[in-house]
């Protein structure tokens, strides 16, 4: 009875499921041969194998689900506006780009700011070009940045943005930066910015894994921004000032970067970069190079003073600042615990971040602007016995201060006229007393600010440069008016 029950159950299974091997069914004879079914497996075995096959399919499904989950985890999440701006700032290396803008502003200030439009175009265009170069540098180094503790948190290694998104951002900033420089400043500045982008992304970035002398190329690239500022203001490279600006940034970058490379030498080794500290286990050679470039900065105040680019005061305070810079380089060299303790190298790196803005500020505070020859001739035309034209000089800082002061004055005057016109229209429509203009706090503030700007402008000019004959005149007047007329107007 049990045999017939098993056989009937098996027949029902066979009719529903074909072929037999899909059930894992095993037979010892051919079905239908000799009218015998042969030996059949019991139903519990068949259904046991069915359960095992279904469990294996569930395992495969779980594996595919885990694979899709890992792929979705690797896919960057949607960025909110604030997070997007933060990612863009990290791609641009915001702190480094800020330093680039400061050096560009220094070159622009030294050349003499021709207009606020040119100044804004130079600063914005250079910052966008720097953002482009830094972005493509990170795009090319994704796998290497992921191996370094210092850089693994960047947007691309951390998968907070896709490489395509970063490339689009880099192209956009690069095109916008060079376009703004070409239209707002001049094509020469735009060409220098484009050269900086190409050198940084196509030459310096691959050289970092090829030779330890990549720092030389990196220093060249980092020395171009102040030259962009100079060309935006002066429109030429055929002057000693851009060469001095280039030399200052070149020497500073070597000391600054070698201190950074010493601090992160193990990270650079893990990523396969070729840096000088990796070939200098003791750090003595690295420290000597830092001292050499720090000592070279001592020559800058001497050269600028004796070539009449700056006044003699820069020789004093510039030398003091350079001595402070050189002292920290020497301490890094004289550190016996340099291999195990990075305190002196870290101190040198931090001092470098303070030193450069201070040095640039002092240099441009004491800088002179060259006065055109025709103005010099007019200044001595009344002196018959003077056969030699004496050079006239005026402070670039005071000249630019007057230009900015005049722009602010014009802005205050425009605001005053705007508020006056609004109040007049209100009085005409509402029948209010026009004398209320005098009691309007906004109009009073604008009027007071305008008057104070006039007073401060002339006072600062007289205090900073009392010995310079045309230092007090605004930029547009000082370049064309005779010295006597200029002095009379400013004294009045």
Helix 343-365 vs helix 240-263: crossing angle, to nearest 10: 160
Confidence category of residue 21, pLDDT binned at 50, 70, 90:
very low
Comparing C-alpha atoms, which of 431, 375, 367, 354 is closest to residue 396?
Answer: 367
Which two structure tokens, joined as six digits, stand for 162?
């896709």
Q: What is the pLDDT of residue 71?
A: 47
Beta-strand relationship, 393-395 and 368-370: antiparallel
CA distance 395 to 464: 9
CA distance 206 to 208: 5
CA distance 154 to 491: 57
User: For residue 383, is pLDDT > 60?
Assistant: no
Q: Which residues are bridge partners to 369 per DSSP?
A: 394
Confidence category of residue 40, pLDDT binned at 50, 70, 90:
very low
Residues 6+ apart with CB under 8 A from 102: 356, 357, 360
User: For residue 175, is pLDDT > 90?
Assistant: yes
Confidence category of residue 207, pLDDT binned at 50, 70, 90:
very high
User: For residue 27, is pLDDT > 90?
Assistant: no
- Mean pLDDT check: name the lowest of 36-50, 69-83, 250-264, 468-482: 468-482
Q: What percent of the chain has pLDDT over 90?
A: 41
pLDDT in tens, 268-293: 998 889 999 999 988 899 999 999 99
pTM of the model as a whole: 0.66
Q: What percent of the chain has pLDDT over 70?
A: 60
Q: Regarding predicted confidence, which is higher, 241 or 369?
A: 241
Q: Regarding predicted confidence, which is higher, 466 or 57?
A: 57
CB 363 within 8 Å of CB 310? yes
User: For residue 474, is pLDDT > 50?
Assistant: no
Rounded to whole angstroms, the maximal C-alpha distance in the chain is 146
CA distance 253 to 289: 12
User: For residue 29, is pLDDT > 50?
Assistant: no
Read off the pLDDT of each residue in 453-463 and give the average, rounded to a whole number: 48
User: For residue 263, is pLDDT > 60?
Assistant: yes
Q: Regarding predicted confidence, which is higher, 13 or 314?
A: 314
CA distance 336 to 478: 57
CA distance 341 to 347: 12
- Mean pLDDT check: name the lowest of 24-33, 174-183, 396-405: 24-33
Confidence category of residue 121, pLDDT binned at 50, 70, 90:
very high
């Amino acid at each position: 009875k049990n045999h017939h029950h098993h056989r009937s159950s098996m027949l029902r299974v066979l009719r529903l499921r074909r072929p037999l091997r899909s059930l894992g069914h095993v037979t010892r004879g051919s079905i239908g041969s000799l009218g015998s079914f042969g030996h059949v497996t019991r139903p519990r075995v068949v259904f046991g194998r069915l359960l095992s096959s279904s469990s294996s399919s569930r395992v495969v499904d779980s594996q595919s689900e885990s694979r899709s989950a890992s792929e979705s985890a690797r896919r960057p999440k949607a960025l909110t506006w604030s997070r997007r701006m933060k990612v863009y700032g990290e791609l641009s290396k915001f702190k480094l780009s800020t330093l680039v803008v400061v050096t560009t502003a220094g070159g622009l200030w030294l050349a003499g700011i021709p207009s606020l439009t040119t100044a804004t175009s130079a600063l914005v265009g250079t910052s966008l070009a720097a953002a482009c170069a830094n972005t493509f540098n990170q795009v090319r180094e994704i796998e290497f940045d992921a191996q370094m503790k210092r850089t693994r948190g960047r947007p691309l290694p951390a998968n907070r943005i896709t490489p395509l998104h970063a490339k689009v951002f880099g192209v956009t900033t690069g095109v916008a930066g060079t376009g703004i420089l070409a239209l707002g400043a001049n094509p020469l500045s735009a060409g220098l910015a484009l050269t900086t982008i190409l050198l940084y992304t196509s030459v310096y970035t691959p050289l970092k894994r090829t030779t330890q002398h990549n720092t030389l190329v990196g220093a060249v690239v980092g020395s171009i921004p102040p030259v962009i500022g100079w060309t935006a203001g002066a429109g030429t490279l055929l002057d000693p000032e851009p060469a001095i600006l280039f030399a200052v940034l070149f020497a500073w970058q070597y000391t600054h970067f070698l201190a950074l490379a010493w601090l992160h030498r193990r990270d650079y080794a893990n990523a396969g970069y070729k840096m000088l500290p990796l070939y200098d286990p003791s750090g003595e050679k690295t420290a000597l190079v830092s001292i050499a470039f720090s000592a070279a900065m001592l020559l800058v105040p001497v050269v600028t003073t004796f070539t009449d680019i700056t006044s003699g005061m820069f020789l004093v305070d510039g030398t003091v600042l350079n001595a402070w810079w050189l002292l920290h380089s020497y301490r890094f060299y004289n550190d016996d615990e340099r291999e195990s303790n990075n305190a002196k190298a870290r101190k040198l790196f931090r001092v470098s971040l303070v030193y450069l803005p201070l040095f640039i500020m002092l240099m441009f505070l004491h800088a002179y602007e060259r006065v055109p020859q025709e103005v010099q001739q007019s200044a001595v035309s009344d002196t018959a016995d003077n056969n030699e034209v004496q050079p006239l000089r005026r402070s670039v800082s005071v000249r630019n201060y007057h230009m900015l002061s005049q722009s602010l004055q014009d802005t205050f005057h425009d605001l005053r006229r705007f508020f006056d016109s609004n109040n007049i229209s209100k009085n005409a429509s509402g029948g209010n007393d026009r004398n209320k203009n005098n009691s309007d706090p906004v109009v009073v503030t604008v009027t007071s600010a305008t008057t104070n700007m006039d007073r401060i402008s002339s006072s600062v000019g007289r205090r900073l440069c009392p010995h310079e004959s045309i230092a007090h005149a605004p930029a547009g007047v000082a370049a064309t008016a005779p010295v006597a007329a200029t002095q009379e107007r400013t004294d009045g």
